[in-house]
Amino acid sequence: MKILITGAAGFIASHVADAFIKAGHEVVIVDNFRTGYPHNLNPQAKFYELDICDPRLEDVFAIEQPDIVDHHAAQISVPLSVEDPLTDAEINVKGLINILQCCVQHKVKKVIYISSGGAMYGEATEYPTSETYSPKPLSVYAINKMVGEDYLYFYHHTYGLDYTVLRYANVYGPRQVSHGEAGVVSIFVEKLLAGETPTLNAYPDEPDGMIRDYVFVKDVVSANLLALQKGSTEAFNIGTCIETSTRTLYLEICKQLHLQIEPKHADARKGDLHRSLLRIDKARGILGWKPQYSLSEGISEVIEYFKHRS
Ligand SMILES: NC(=O)c1ccc[n+]([C@@H]2O[C@H](COP(=O)([O-])OP(=O)(O)OC[C@H]3O[C@@H](n4cnc5c(N)ncnc54)[C@H](O)[C@@H]3O)[C@@H](O)[C@H]2O)c1
């Protein structure tokens, strides 16, 4: 199959592009290097340096005629989405609409849309949170991811465009930069390897930090591979359903690096959710997906990556 993947100069989609190519698919990448890097691009992919909001995206579809679109490109910073909501909407809503228009015009068979289970549900009252929970987004980023899902539903209903939504938990792994949505693993590893003392952000009443569902990037990749064939018109949480506090995460990294350093402490950042944990039975049942990597296995790969990078 020919797959057009957006955002594959970035962290997650670069791994997805590598896996699609390894599985024998033809891959076309669209990215404008807003937060991605040329060194993440798979050399076997055809690359277009282009903004997803650019009307010339249509030319790419006309030339390439992709069967599938896997849409990862996005404005990913939650704080930035609050400071500059128009930019978030420009990329995460208008960019998506531009892509969907091209999909309809060029008869794309399916769109895999990347949403955020880690942000969209807000401070949920149901833990672990399932896909049926009514989202209460607490950031512009989360609102626009939710709106994106509504657009997918509309394009399916109106034009018959097939889709699958993957709602990622907090993804971590090699190539993640330290300012991402869930960059805390990279931040801790980078700082500790550099001999610096990391800062643990926490709410005063929860000194061990926030609760998160950390999913390793290679598990996220396998969900994308399965979504090529399965999960038509459905949304799936892609997490581990295991809760980890920031302190537990920090201590695991320290253990693997044979370090005993007490972190500095600072207040939680504005907009940080207290707790996020995803129920994953639906992906298990319909996609046949389950996470394969434990937190300690994933962290060990991140440490190896940063050791060899520096
Ligand atoms: N990292 C996480 O924990 C997490 C969690 C939930 C959802 N997601 C979603 O996964 C996707 C990938 O995130 P990531 O962590 O790999 O981020 P990333 O910043 O590493 O990747 C995003 C890529 O999109 C590109 N991009 C941004 N705006 C663009 C535009 N206007 N035109 C073309 N390309 C553009 C960037 O250059 C970058 O290469 C995003 O949709 C994000 O919202 C990530």
Q: Which of 6, 11, 56, 224 gets mutated to test ligand 1 (max ligand atoms within 8 A of its CB)?
A: 11
Q: Which residue in 166, 72, 129, 58 sits closest to 274, CA to CA?
A: 129
Q: What is the pLDDT of residue 260?
A: 95
141 carries an active-site annotation: yes
Phi, psi dihedral angles at 176 (to 5 degrees)? -75, 130
Residue 220: how many CA atoms within 13 Å on its side-chain side? 33
Per-residue pLDDT for 180 more than 60? no
Ranking 220-234, 236-250, 262-276 by mean pLDDT, the lowest is 262-276
Task: Give dist(CA 103, CA 67) in Å, integer.
Answer: 9
What domains are there in the chain, each with its CATH number? Answer: 2-169+217-238 (3.40.50.720), 171-213+242-278+293-309 (3.90.25.10)
Ligand 1 in contact with 60 (CB < 6 A)? Answer: no
Phi, psi dihedral angles at 7 (to 5 degrees)? 80, 20
The reported pTM is 0.97
pLDDT band of residue 107 (cuts 50, 70, 90) is very high
Per-residue pLDDT for 146 more than 70? yes
Per-residue pLDDT for 269 more than 90? no
Task: Tell me the CA–centroid distance for residue 205 and ligand 1, in Å.
Answer: 32
* Strand 110-116 to 162-168 pairing: parallel
Which residues, in sequence order, are bridge partners of residue 27?
A: 3
Ligand 1 in contact with 276 (CB < 6 A)? Answer: no
Q: Give Cβ neighbours of residue 264 (< 8 Å, ≥ 6 apart).
A: 197, 198, 199, 200
Task: Give dist(CA 72, CA 69) in Å, integer.
Answer: 10
* Strand 199-202 to 68-71 pairing: unpaired
Q: What is the pLDDT of residue 182?
A: 56
Q: What is the pLDDT of residue 179?
A: 64
| 8 A C-beta contact, residue 265 and residue 202 | yes
Q: Which of 48, 141, 172, 250 is catalytic?
A: 141
H or E element that contains 233: none
Q: Tell me the pLDDT of the chain averaged across its residues.
A: 96
Interhelix angle 217-227/295-309, rounded to 10 degrees, is 110
Q: What is the pLDDT of residue 294?
A: 98
- Find the mean pLDDT for residues 139-149: 97
- Find the mean pLDDT for residues 114-140: 95
Strands of the sheet containing 2-6, edge to edge, are: 46-49, 26-31, 2-6, 68-71, 110-116, 162-168, 234-238
Ligand 1 in contact with 114 (CB < 6 A)? Answer: yes
Task: Give dist(CA 142, CA 252) in Å, integer.
Answer: 29
Q: Which two tokens stand for residue 276?
A: 């996020």
